[in-house]
Amino acid sequence: MKSQSDASFLIIETGQPVPSMRRHGRFPHWIRVAAGLPADRATMVNVEAGEALPDHRSLAGVLVTGSGAMVTDRHDWSERTADWLRDALDDGLPVFGICYGHQLLAHALGGEVGYNPAGREMGTVPVDLHPDAAGDALFSRVPSRFAVQVTHLQTVLRPPGDAAVLARSEQDQCQAFRWRDHAWGVQFHPEFSVDHMRGYVHARREALAKEGQCHRRMARDVRPTPHARGLLRRFVRHAATLRGH
């Protein structure tokens, strides 16, 4: 059992970056760096590759990555991870889900996930906070409107019961939610840098063109999203207080 001062955060890896971006490392590395976690305070489990999840009771918290997979495909590894998350959440473990992780968290807790009727959302977009964000441990310190990086086709169509929707964008009414007082999901990517986002836009250029969108213009409009990135660091600090680590 780890002591309170060295308990690890688990990063659950649910997918890989697009091939052109893999030279920058894998999602857990992007998230760990953005969250300000030292290497010895983070462990990674690749559930998509079949790796087993650990006993959650010694963990300080969990972060769940994005993925190119779809929650609605109900892959065995995904459903097993949802079951693990449900048990861990019932035990009070702090969790922060990103994109696929956000949707998987909603699915695990009884929400509904599906394709966004508004279509693909991609690039740097503004999100607006709902009133429930005013007293939130993570979101109360960000502006009422701030920029985020997004790339997704599916979304949380119906948030879980006991969840408070915290933010929305023009194309997505559930950009962020909090479940009870220890779990958050965000549809956007707080770990993405400008280079990450532009790399994804370039990788999706053919799909964007078919949808009538200009990837060059979208890439030019990408800008830093420091308020979004700050949410990861606040989660790490807040989770440590919740677990006494």
Active-site positions read: 99, 189, 191
Query: Of all helices (H) and strands (E), which one includes residue 63?
Result: strand 61-64
Q: How far apart are CA 19 and CA 4, in angstroms?
A: 38
CA 33 to chain centre: 14
123 exposure class (CB count in 10 Å sphere: 0-12, 13-18, 19+): buried
Q: Residue 233 carries which side chain, given as an amino acid letter?
A: R
Tell me how many degrees the CA angle 118-17-179 measures, rounded to the nearest 5: 55
Q: Which residues contact 186 (CB under 8 A, 6 or more apart)?
A: 96, 97, 98, 99, 102, 148, 167, 175, 176, 228, 231
Q: How far apart are CA 221 and CA 206, in angstroms?
A: 18
3-state secondary structure of 205: helix
What are the φ and ψ backbone dihedral angles of 193, each rounded to 5 degrees?
-85, 175
Query: Of all helices (H) and strands (E), which one includes residue 240?
Result: helix 226-243
